[in-house]
Chain A
Amino acid sequence: MVADRINGALRKLPIWAVYAGLAVPAPWWLYQGATGGLGVEPITALEHALGEFALQLAIVGLAITPLRRLSGVTLLRFRRAVGLMTFFYVTLHLMVWLVLDVQIVSQIWADIVKRPYITVGMGGFLLMVPLALTSNNWSVRRLGTGWRKLHRLTYPAVLLGGVHYVMLAKGFQIEPLVYLSVIVMLLALRLRILPSLRVA
């Protein structure tokens, strides 16, 4: 079966390679931003590149379980790597916003409380903090069944990320809505009201 062959190939891929591969864009974009490769306004460009990549990784993370159910291909071994790298990019996105974009401390707090899209994005980030802190074997053992419950925070976190993107768009733009639809679909697959889609 095709799925088995893919799974066989995936087993040979070391997890560190996934971390390394997913880490590559960050220094590359930073280098490009510093040398003109991101255009004449590199701050916003870098901020957007990091945010968009984080959202894409979050979607990959959400897709792992449905993919296994629907096709038998399993990326479960890489889920922690994908999740932690999502957090890494969200953190970088936030850092660029804080340090390079807004710059002014008083305005940072004002933005967080006054600008709904920033409040929403910040909420998504805060929900990810406990997830990142407990993405290790020790925490899994220590928290037992609580770990699974805690990690359901992934769902609202990614949803907030998608909403954050839709809220900051000017005019009626398709791309953020596509991201949000995919996220909502992947979340809907987890509800038991869609049993027909469950193959496993």
Chain B
Amino acid sequence: MANRWTNKLTRDDVTPEPLFMNRRRVLAGLGLGAGAVAGVGGLALGGMPGAAQAQEAEGLEPNTFEEITSYCNYYEFGTRKDDPSENAHMLTTEPWSIAIDGLVERPGDYALEDILSQMTIEERIYRFRCVEAWSMVVPWNGFELADLLEFAGVKPEAKYVAFETVYRPEEMPGTRYPVLDWPYVEGLRLDEALHPLTMMATGIYGKTIPNQNGAPIRLVVPWKYGFKSIKSIVRITLTDTQPPTSWNKAGPNEYGFYSNVNPNVDHPRWSQATERRIGGGLFARRIPTPMFNGYEDEVAGLYEGMDLKANF
């Protein structure tokens, strides 16, 4: 079910007008379903002067494709920010399949194209906040994780969703070092996974998602620190117990299971109150980090009554 969530950031925020018109044609050329085209129309309507001005007042300037694809954390390809864009070309993304197992009605090893043929691709412009206190605004293309879970059929006893990144040492030079306990794993509570903001991304700016950004398919959870948005997913497991997550295993005092963006809970080694938006150059100012990365209205209800300091 696409379009359950209406973008506050508009397409006009992303691309200059002439390119914007071209991109509409590109999207149409991709042969996406009617839903996607309707989505584009909806977003264009959302780009009224008032809305655009409101976004501008908020200081939301979407990042360029070059910025998004050249500054990445993907430790399987190296720990420096430019390692992934240099090394990720080694990853084979075709063919690709995702094993969906655990507490699901229809477990199996699904070919990516078979999954995609059932999904409606739409664009979502999300803030992206790294735990290292930098941020971007990214126009993702993808579908809601809820749709994929519906496709597999979630059994009633399932409470969590576990994810696993592909692990191929021969294609991923960073995995030769024990920076983390490979393969990379992540997890969400089922209600977080089913939230309409949670998506599986297969593209950026209407293009196939580049390898360094998690091709061919990755998770995007915009109200959590970036490391929760696991890349190049090969396994999704529904469980009734909280699954282990890579950064939590590496530093339980520093990275919690929830890892919701929260300016009031500092990382033990640095403050999370402010962030630096990528692309501001040498004299970029720090900007305040909003609660839940600006998605408080949408997601605060998920954590009602929870101590967010204890459950960081």
Contacts and interface: CB of A to CB of B under 8 A. Distances in A.
Contacts, number: 64
A23 B86 CA distance: 30
Interface residues of B, number: 32
Contact of B271 (A107, A167, A170): A107
Contact of B75 (A41, A168, A171): A171
Size class of the contact patch on chain A: 20 to 34
B303 interface: no
B66 interface: yes
User: Sorted from nearest, which 6 A-B pairs have the closest CB atoms?
Assistant: A171-B179, A40-B67, A40-B71, A42-B282, A33-B282, A34-B282
Interface of A: 33-34, 39-46, 100, 102-104, 107, 110-111, 114-117, 167-168, 170-174
6 contacts: A40-B278, A41-B71, A41-B276, A111-B270, A115-B270, A171-B75
B309 interface: no
B79 interface: yes
The secondary structure that dominates the B interface is loop
Nearest to B179: A171
A117 B283 CA distance: 24
A42 B177 contact: no
B180 interface: yes
Interface in B70-105: 70-71, 75, 79, 81-82
Given A40-B66, A42-B282, A110 B177 contact: no
B70 A39 contact: yes
B179 A173 contact: yes
A46 B178 CA distance: 27
A111 B271 contact: yes
**Most A Cβ at <10 Å: residue of B132, B247, B271, B282:** B282
Contacts of A103: 285-286
A172 B250 contact: yes
Nearest to A36: B281
B270 A42 contact: no
